[in-house]
Amino acid sequence: MVATEHYPLSELTTMRLGGKARWVIEISNREDLLEALDFAKQQNLPWFILGDGSNVIAGGDYNGVIILNRITGFEHIDEDDSSVTYRIGAGEVWDHIVERLCALELSGVEAMSAIPGRAGSTPVQNVGAYGQEIADTLIELEAYDTQTGTFVTLERDDCVFSYRNSLFKNPETRHHIITSITLRLNKAWMKPPFYSSLESYLSKHAISEYSPNTIRIAVIAIRTEKLPPVDQIASAGSFFKNPIVTSDVADSLLAHYPDMPHWSMPDNRVKLAAGWLIEQTGLKGFSKYGMAVYPKNALVLTNVNATSTDDLEKFKTEIIAAVQAKFAITLEQEPENLIG
């Protein structure tokens, strides 16, 4: 195990902000994880598990231990007439896993192509895109329970999945470190109707064959058009959660904005499009404090030349206030804050 001191957080997060981490340790197996946690305990410091930092906003310095999860693994576990099951190391690059599964013509994660990050991060906020989410495919995961000091297996229902949330994101229950995920993929391919933007792309390009790789290629094309490449433009992807409101609130808004995108959900709720709400305030392309609303997608905030997380906070606050003033809806940040 190698511990590096005073490591720039801007090099560990895709928004490229933040001060320095007191210590950074990269792990490649379960034994490394236990050593890293023991190191943090000996130093009397907090710790934080980090993948690629694509859904984390770093504040100032982090006076703790950043543990970079790089545990690998791609293991065929089971197969029947309709499905194939794989166990995947939490430190695997997520899109590489999607690519491999699509090449095997297995369905279940193809719509989540080109999402940055590591496999172990996907259950944390129940990652999803274009009609699929990890909760649909995950059957169990292995994690280290820091309360009991043991490795445990959690089944899907144990993870308490909801929209962009889970057991692992809730501050009151987040005491597990994910080391592997087990996914059950379908041999049967996706069928229409698809998520609206995916449906539009397939129709526009006269695509009627829906193999996992075909859907993957379509999703990558859509995301490339709408989202900045994080290796070239500093951002954290979608910065705000799509708000979920009651059907009464949605009906009231639709009376004034009949073309407002919306999706029905269980329990008399409706999901709205945060990007559309921001765009209606006239802030698409807006820039200030060294930050900008991405011109191609109002849901994305980019770091043009901001010097601190304070710049991002001020910028975010103005956007939230504008949407609140126009729609009486309060947007919530999607990326997690790393505060030390």
Same domain membership, residue 122 and residue 101: yes
Residue 214 lies inside a defined structural domain of this protein: no
Q: What's the rounded Cα separation, in Å, for the pair 216 and 115?
A: 11
Q: What's the rounded Cα separation, in Å, for the pair 210 and 247?
A: 33
Instruction: State the CATH number of the domain containing residue 271.
Output: 3.90.78.10
User: Catalytic residue at 308?
Assistant: no
Same domain membership, residue 327 and residue 250: yes
Contact (CB, 8 A) for 320 and 314: no
Of 130, 157, 186, the one marking the end of a domain is 186
Same domain membership, residue 156 and residue 79: yes
Same domain membership, residue 102 and residue 78: yes
Same domain membership, residue 62 and residue 78: no
Q: What's the rounded Cα separation, in Å, for the pair 164 and 82?
A: 28
Same domain membership, residue 306 and residue 270: yes
What sign has the CA pseudo-torsion 192, 198, 204, 210? negative
Same domain membership, residue 58 and residue 23: yes
Residue 228 lies inside a defined structural domain of this protein: no
pLDDT digits (tens, 9 = 90+) for 291-315: 999 999 999 999 999 989 999 999 9
Residue 209 lies inside a defined structural domain of this protein: no
User: Catalytic residue at 83?
Assistant: no
Active site residue: 133, 140, 142, 334, which one? 334
Q: What's the rounded Cα separation, in Å, for the pair 67 and 6?
A: 13
Residue 202 lies inside a defined structural domain of this protein: no
DSSP line for 155-178: EGGGG--BTTB-TTTSTTT--EEE
User: Catalytic residue at 334?
Assistant: yes
Contact (CB, 8 A) for 33 and 177: yes
Residue 224 lies inside a defined structural domain of this protein: no
Of 19, 44, 69, the one marking the end of a domain is 69
Same domain membership, residue 331 and residue 264: yes
Number of other CB atoms surrounding residue 149 within 10 Å: 9
Residue 222 lies inside a defined structural domain of this protein: no
Position 340 scores a pLDDT of: 63
Instruction: State the CATH number of the domain containing residue 148.
Output: 3.30.465.10
Residue 208 lies inside a defined structural domain of this protein: no
Instruction: State the CATH number of the domain containing residue 7.
Output: 3.30.43.10
Average pLDDT of the residues of the chain: 95
Pairing between β-strand 291-293 and β-strand 176-186 as defined by DSSP bridges? unpaired
What pTM value is reported for the model? 0.90
Structural domains of the chain, count = 3
Same domain membership, residue 90 and residue 10: no
Same domain membership, residue 250 and residue 322: yes
Q: What is the pLDDT along the chain (340 residues), one digit of tens a residue?
A: 789 999 999 999 999 999 999 999 999 999 999 999 999 999 999 999 999 999 999 988 999 999 999 999 999 999 999 999 999 999 999 999 999 999 999 999 999 999 999 999 999 989 999 999 999 999 999 999 999 999 999 999 999 999 888 999 887 888 999 999 999 999 999 999 998 899 999 999 999 999 999 999 999 999 999 899 888 899 998 999 999 999 999 999 999 999 999 999 989 999 999 999 999 999 999 999 999 999 999 999 999 999 899 999 999 999 999 999 999 999 999 998 987 6
The domain containing residue 53 runs over which residues?
Answer: 3-69
Active site residue: 164, 184, 216, 223, which one? 164
| Ordered alpha helix ranges (H), 44-175 | 94-103, 134-137
Same domain membership, residue 310 and residue 252: yes
Of 167, 186, 205, the one marking the end of a domain is 186
Residue 218 lies inside a defined structural domain of this protein: no
Same domain membership, residue 98 and residue 59: no
| Ordered alpha helix ranges (H), the chain | 30-43, 94-103, 134-137, 196-204, 212-226, 247-256, 274-280, 309-327
Residue 184 contacts by C-beta under 8 Å, 6 or more apart in sequence?
83, 84, 85, 108, 137, 138, 139
